[in-house]
Amino acid sequence: MNYDDNDMEKDLNNENEESQNDGKKQSYASIPEDIYIERKEKKPPKKKSFRGSLFSYIALALVASMIGGFSASYISPRLVENIGKETATYSADPITINTNDSIDTVTAVVKKSMKSVVGITTLETVDDFFGEQDRGGLGSGVIVDSDGYILTNSHVVADGNAKEIKVLFENGDQVNAKLLWTDSTLDLAVVKVDIKGLPAMELGDSDDLEVGELAIAIGNPLGLEFQRTVTSGIISGLNRTIAIDRNTVMDNLIQTDASINPGNSGGPLLNSQGQVVGINTAKIKSGEGLGFSIPINSTKGIIDEVIQKGSFETVQLGIKGLDIQEYQSRLGVDLDLEKGVIILEVIAGSPADKAGLMNGDILLKIDKADIESMQSLKKLLYDYTKDDKVTLKTLRNNEEKKIDVSF
C-alpha cells in the first residue's frame, strides 16, 4: 500500500509541496596528481628587416595604448577618490571561514543520529461519502529510550485514532507499535515497540538555543521513497506562536529554515552536537523556509513518566475558565488586561476548590510563568506532577492575591 500524508502535517494554507531531492550520493571528479609545463628549447633569434621592425614597433604602440586605456578605466575610480583627501583606514581582526566546517558537522551529526530516526505508518478508519474507509498515514519518530520508546507527533498517530501503527527502522525492519500516550494540544505522542537495545538519540537542551546556530532535520518527506532525508539550515527564531486553526494555537515553538515537509512530522531537529533540540511539527506553506519544532525540553518530563509508569497523567487545577480577551469581547467590557484566564466554575473537591479559588478570579501567573490563555495554562500544568505545590497570582475584585495550590 502507498501511503500519502493525508493532512498529517499542520499546513496552514492547504497548498501543494514540492518534493525534495532524492538524496543520491554525488560523485566527484578526481584532480590530476601532476601538472606539467613543457619548456621549449631556445633558438637563435631570426634577423628582422627594418620594415618588419617598424611594423612591430607600431603594433606594440597600439597594444600598449589599448592596454593603458583599459587599465585606466578599471583602476582610475580607486585612484581618483583619494586625490586631495586623507587616506581612510579601516582595521579589523581577520576572520577566517572554512567552508568545509559546516559540511563536516552535518555529516558527523547524520552519522551519529540516522539509526535513531524511524518511519511511522498508520491506518485510520474514517467516514466519508462512500462509508467507512481505511486511510493511511506517514510520519517520522525519534527513539528516545533503548527499550523501544519512540517520540513522535500526536497527529502522526491520528491523535490516538489509528487502529494500526507500524515502525520502520533504518535497517529495513518493520514492526507493530503500541500507542502509550498522546495529547493533541501539545501535538506529542509516545509509542513503544517490543525491541530492546535500540540506538536511543541524545536529548539536548532547547533552552540554550540561539538564533543563527546550525539546525539539521531528518525525516520522511512526501513518502517512504525519500525516507531519512537530511536538510540543514539555522535556528531562525525562538518562542514563536502560530495558529493551526480557530481553536488551536501552538506557542513556544522553534522556527527553522531547514526544509520541513509532510512526512517530516515527528522527526528530530538536531544541533551541531547531534542532540535532539526539537520535534518537527508544522510548516507554513505560503512561505519558504518557515518550519516549526516543539522544544525538546517540554517533552522530557513526559518521556520520563511514560517510561516509568507506562503513561503520563496531567495534573488538574479543577476549573472551567475562559480566555480573558474572549471574555471581554463577549461581554463588551474592558478590564484593561491582554492575557489571563477568568474562572467561570470551580470543581468541587479539586485542588482549586481546596485552595480557595473562586468564580470570577482572574489567573495571571503560575509560579513565574505568565498564564496567557486556557491552552497556555494546560501546557504549563505539564511541568508539574502529583504532590507538587504552586503559587498562583490572581486578580480578585481588582486586587492582586497570591494563592498556594497543592496537586
The average confidence (pLDDT) of the chain is: 77
pLDDT of amino acid 58: 42
Contact (Cβ atoms closer than 8 angstroms) between residue 156 and residue 121: no
**In CATH, what class is 101-192?**
mainly beta
Asked if 206 and 225 touch (Cβ cutoff 8 Å), the reply is no
Give me the residue spans of the domains in the chain.
101-192, 206-309, 319-406
Prediction pTM value: 0.66
> C-alpha angle 109/110/116, rounded to 5°?
105
Give, for 109, the enclosing helix (H) or strand (E).
helix 100-113
The pLDDT tens digits for 174-222 are 999 999 999 988 899 999 999 999 999 999 999 999 999 999 999 876 5
The superfamily in CATH containing domain 319-406 is PDZ domain (2.30.42.10)
- Supply the DSSP symbol for 203: B
The three-state secondary structure class of 269 is: strand
Average pLDDT over residues 289-318: 90
Q: Which of 150, 246, 250 is nearest to 200 (CA)?
A: 150
Q: Which residue has the cell 631570426?
A: 46
∠ at Cα 232 (166, 12), nearest 5°? Answer: 65
Q: Annotated catalytic sites, by residue?
A: 155, 187, 265
pLDDT tens column, 1-51: 444 444 434 443 444 443 333 433 333 333 333 323 233 334 444 444 444
| pLDDT at residue 239 tops 80 | yes
Helix (H, G, I), strand (E, B) or coil at 298: helix
What is the number of residues in the chain? 407
pLDDT digits (tens, 9 = 90+) for 46-67: 444 444 444 444 444 444 444 4
CA-derived radius of gyration, the chain: 32
Stretch 377-406: mean pLDDT: 90
Query: What proportions of the chain, in percent to the nearest 5, are helix, strand and coil?
Result: 25, 35, 45
Residue 176 CA from chain centroid, whole number: 27
The fraction of the chain above a pLDDT of 70, given in percent, is 71
> What nine digits make up the cell of 34?
601532476
CATH 1.10.472.50 fits 206-309, yes or no: no
All three cell numbers of 169: 527502522
Query: How far apart are the C-alpha atoms of 238 and 133, rounded to whole Å?
Result: 40
- Cell numbers found for residue 248: 488551536
Q: In sequence order, what are the beta bridge partners of 140?
A: 119
Q: Give the pLDDT mean for 137-155.
A: 94
Contact 243, 254 (CB under 8 A): no
| Residue where the block lists cell 526544509 | 259
pLDDT band at residue 256 under the 50/70/90 scheme: very high
Q: Which residue has the higher pLDDT, 96 or 191?
A: 191
Q: What is the DSSP secondary structure assignment for residue 200, as one 8-state letter? A: P
Question: Residue 391: what pLDDT?
Answer: 94
pLDDT tens-digit series, residues 67-87: 444 333 332 222 233 334 444
Domains 101-192 and 206-309 share a fold: yes
- 84 — phi, psi (to 5°)? 75, 10
| Segment of 101-105, 134-138, 338-342 carrying the highest mean pLDDT | 338-342
Which pLDDT score is estimated for 403? 94
